[in-house]
Every structure is written in C-alpha cells, then in structure tokens.
Amino acid sequence: MRDHKTVLDYIRTIPDFPHAGIMFRDVTTLFADPRGFRLAVDQLLAPYVGQRIDMVVGLEARGFILGGAVAHQLGKGFVPIRKKGKLPGATISEDYVLEYGQATVEIHDDALAAGQKVLLVDDLLATGGTAEAGIKLIERLGAEVAGCAFVVDLPDLGGRKRLERMGIEVHALCVFGGA
C-alpha cells in the first residue's frame, strides 16, 4: 500500500507555545521523518525547476536546513541570512519589527552579485517581517528575488499579502488558519 501523506501530516501543532493562545506549528517532526523531509524539499523547489535560480538564501535558523537541501537539489550555492553579530567579516544589516520590539538580520556584503536570481527559503511565513528584511538585504546587494518558498503559511497574520505587495511571488506548501 502506498503512503499518500502530505507535508501537513508531518507537522505537529503545540498549543500555547511560546505563550497562551499561540498554536505553534512545529516542523521539527517534518525534518525528522525522511519521507516528510524529502517531500517538503521536493515541493519547495518544484516551481523553480527550469527557472533561472543562481543562489538559494535561507533565513535563520530553520531556513538553513531547508534552504541548504533545496540548494543541493538545484545544484546551486547557499547563502545564510543570520541574526545580528553571527556572521564573520563585513556585513550589511536590516532592522525589522517583532511582536514585542525590534530585531536585525545580516548578510555578508559580498554574498550575492548584482543581477543574480535568488530563491529565499524559510520554514514559516507569519507576519512577513523577517522575510521582508531578507528581501531588502538581497535587493541592496543588487540581486533579484525570484520567489520566496515556505513550508507553512499563516495567512491570517498577513505575511503573504505583505510580500505580494512588494511584488514577490510566494510559494507555500500548506496553510494553517489563525495564529
């Protein structure tokens, strides 16, 4: 008998984490299952096969896991966007707003070349703040975002609309309503 699971079947929901009222979508169970992980990676890259993608960029931290695997499958290099202070060498940074405060992400100032087509990868799209900051960093280096790929989209938090208003194509493997 064939296994017909979807990516959604591998993601567990943990209620009230990190605080009451939040339904946390935990992709570590997806990563831990070889079939689930392969399914996610294959589906993340599928829309981009045959398109010009020069580099894959992943957002810290789960975007590193997914982005590295997607880059490998596409035969492309991988570039991390990290939290402030984690990258050695010269960087550029971008601030973004969190629910309770502000954060900063960075990329090496020589990580991308002008004109490169970049696929941005992360596990989850919520408000879109981190992804928007990543897009701005990519564009500041002169590269172009060919698309953003996520495992989970939480559309009620507005991230997809935010990125689409920027003219960015969003690809998500599954959708969860609510927060």
- Ordered structural domains, the chain, with CATH: 51-175 (3.40.50.2020)
Catalytic one among 62, 94, 106, 160?
62
pLDDT by residue (tens digit) across 41-87? 999 999 999 999 999 999 999 999 999 999 999 999 999 999 999 99
Confidence of residue 98 (pLDDT cuts 50, 70, 90): confident
Query: 151, 176 in Cβ contact below 8 A?
Result: no
pLDDT above 90 (res 178):
no
For 118-151, b/e burial (b = at least 16 CB within 10 A) is: bbbbbbbbbbbbbbbbbbbbbeebebebbbbbbb
Nearest one of 23, 28, 3 to 13, comparing CA atoms:
23
Tell me the pairing of strands 91-98 and 77-83.
unpaired
99 catalytic residue (yes or no): yes
Helix (H) or strand (E) holding 64: helix 62-74
pLDDT of residue 101: 82
Provide the β-strand partners of residue 125.
Answer: 153
CA distance 72 to 86: 23
Q: Does 82 participate in catalysis according to the annotation?
A: no
What CA–CA distance (Å, rounded) separates 112 from 139?
9
Q: Is the pTM of this model over 0.85?
A: yes
Catalytic residue among 12, 25, 94, 99: 99
Under the banding of pLDDT at 50, 70 and 90, the label for residue 99 is: confident
Cα–Cα distance, 45 to 3 (Å, whole number): 21
User: What sign for the dihedral angle of Cα 128, 134, 138, 140?
Assistant: positive
**pLDDT class of 100 with cuts at 50, 70, 90:** confident
pLDDT digits (tens, 9 = 90+) for 102-135: 999 999 999 999 999 999 999 999 999 999 999 9
